Structure 1
Amino acid sequence: MDMGRTRFGETIGVSMRTLEAIERRGSSPRSDVLEPIARKWPEYSYWLLTGDTIPEKGHISPALAKPRDSSTDSVEAS
């Protein structure tokens, strides 16, 4: 996922204020933030909640994801 905070917030429908609070204050994201991320990128949902990956089950982290061709990416793709 190579996108800035603004595009990320727009993509998942979360305000900049909420994202900034999570990043700057170390706030834990609530389900209203985690759920749209998990729906958009289901392959990351297990990692997002546990910090663990199970690649053979399709549960990966962004670091394990194959790079995508940015020329074919849209706001829908990461």
Structure 2
Amino acid sequence: MSIAGVDAVRLDESTDPTLVFLKVEEAARRLRVGRTTCYALIRSGELESHLIGGLRRVPADAPAAYLARLRTQQHAV
């Protein structure tokens, strides 16, 4: 496979199931919200995140957990 072929096969990192942490922008894409909204969710404590070496990272399962909590809250109303 040529180098050009490798570039064509490049995976989108935001959908890589082996990732443990996501960048905030990747978490925002999974939630289909903007970066600013994602940071607001983090600041409010609604979306789990951690500082790692000065970088803000979101656990890969946190967007799904946030959605599950939203669904539970909406069904309770």
Q: Same fold (TM over 0.5)?
A: no
- TM-score, length-scaled by structure 1: 0.31
- TM-score, length-scaled by structure 2: 0.31
Q: Which has the larger radius of gyration?
A: 2
Structure with a larger share of its residues in strand? 2
